[in-house]
A and B are shown apart, each in its own frame.
Chain A
Amino acid sequence: MSLAREFTKGLWRDNAVFRLLLGLCPALAVTTSAVNGLGMGFATTFVLVCSNFVVASLRKVIPARVRIPSFIVIIASFVTVVQLCMEAYFYDLHKALGIFIPLIVVNCLILGRAEAYASRNPLLPSVVDGVGMGLGFTLALFVLGSVRELFGVGTLLGFTVFGAGYQPLILMILPPGAFIAMGLLLAGMNRIESLRK
């Protein structure tokens, strides 16, 4: 597989949220606005790229029997780095995302890529895989957050889209709205896929 293919697979064909249905807990929980989706997506991408980098470079050193604890220690370290930096420099985002930043540790997307890809592939493809998968995850969270913010509040990225007369569909930014938006987007993706065949 070429590097370009490694990169684009995460955006669409193997998109973490919409195709593999991985990492749904943060995807559903924090996407009450487009900005939250982007913030969570970039934080996850950073952790994913760094952990893929370290796991791929240590793949011949880490014995198979302790690989899972090793991966978890590596991932947890980068998550803590993200958490500290976010609190120090993006305080509002830190408050909005709250508990879901430390919970990136248990995002099965990251452990999944470390186990299934980075531990078996050289450095460069692993980093590219991490960037692609991470951006695909960010894209999914951004779309989900945009749809929910648009209908639930009537704004997009904080800018008013529907005029003052718009009665917001509050349900969309409540937890059930996450499932409804997710289901509709999944159905749309599957429809596009079946038409392409």
Chain B
Amino acid sequence: MKELARLVLVLTLIAAGAGLILSLVERATREPIAEQRRQETLRALSAVLPPADNSPDTDTVSLVVGKDRRGRELQRLFFRGRKGGEVSGVAFKVVAPDGYSGNIAIMVGIDPTGTVTGVEILSHAETPGLGDKITEAWFKEMFKGRNLDNADWRVKKDGGEFDQITGATISPRAVVGAIHRGLDFFKTHQDEILASSGGSGQ
């Protein structure tokens, strides 16, 4: 019995010490981590949006884009860049679930008419050296200036006009498809997204 008490006591003390140290470290790193994540979003936003003089990461609208398999609502955040109070561009994240390996997360920037101003790949797990060429500048540049009316949103192999990557058709096809669906969603909901509420959440 005395032996058992000793086992419990020592293990409890070790766990308590570990908990104390972890809570201190967590408190010290909480701010820098939040700042790093914010900076990452800001970098992606400034890469895809036309010049803006507000902070787009706080001027957002959230819309329901669909339901997941369990019937819960899926939200999508729309970041609005403004120039002199007027909306100059909208950025939103789309996810391509049909890449070669895993999801591809893409930040798409468009102007208020629905023409693409920039595309940034946020995360992916495509094959290094093949599918990961979707992160290269020439690939992302292809989408600039395109909208639903002036482009056929398919890769060339499928009869569209976007270059695929030699040896990797699946990744570009997934990206093109995801951006296309994002533009479609914007077109049907643009009134809600552009509605000038002066920035929700402010």
Contact = CB atoms under 8 A, between A and B. Distances in A.
Contacts of B40: 91
Given A66-B7, A87-B29, 20 more contacts: A61-B10, A62-B10, A62-B14, A63-B3, A63-B6, A63-B10, A66-B10, A70-B11, A73-B15, A74-B18, A81-B21, A81-B25, A88-B32, A88-B33, A152-B128, A168-B129, A170-B127, A170-B128, A174-B127, A174-B128
A54 to B, nearest CB: 9
Contact of A77 (B3, B6, B11, B22): B22
Interface residues of B, number: 21
B33 A73 contact: no
B129 A84 contact: no
B36 A91 contact: yes
B130 A170 contact: yes
Contact of B129 (A58, A62, A85, A173): A173
Given A81-B21, A81-B25, A87 B7 contact: no
A66 B7 CA distance: 7
A61 B11 CA distance: 10
B11 A66 contact: yes
A52 B3 CA distance: 25
A65 interface: yes
5 contacts: A58-B14, A73-B14, A73-B15, A87-B29, A174-B128
B158 interface: no
B29 A84 contact: yes
Contacts of B152: none
B129 A77 contact: no
Contact of A70 (B6, B14, B128): B14
Q: Interface residue tally of chain A, by bracket?
A: 20 to 34
Interface in A56-88: 58, 61-63, 65-66, 69-70, 73-74, 76-77, 80-81, 84-85, 87-88
Contacts of B25: 80-81, 84-85
Contacts of B86: none
Chain B, interface SS category: helix
B129 A152 contact: yes
Contacts of A77: 18, 21-22
Interface of B: 3, 6-7, 10-11, 14-15, 18, 21-22, 25-26, 29, 32-33, 36, 40, 127-130
Interface string A107-118: 000000000000
Interface in A107-158: 152-153
B7 A63 contact: yes
Given A66-B10, A87-B29, A173-B128, A73 B18 contact: yes
Nearest to B15: A73
Contacts of A70: 10-11, 14
A15 interface: no
Closest 3 CB pairs of A and B: A170-B129, A88-B32, A77-B18
Interface string A8-52: 000000000000000000000000100000000000000000000
Nearest to A90: B36
A69 B15 CA distance: 10
A62 B9 CA distance: 10
A89 interface: yes
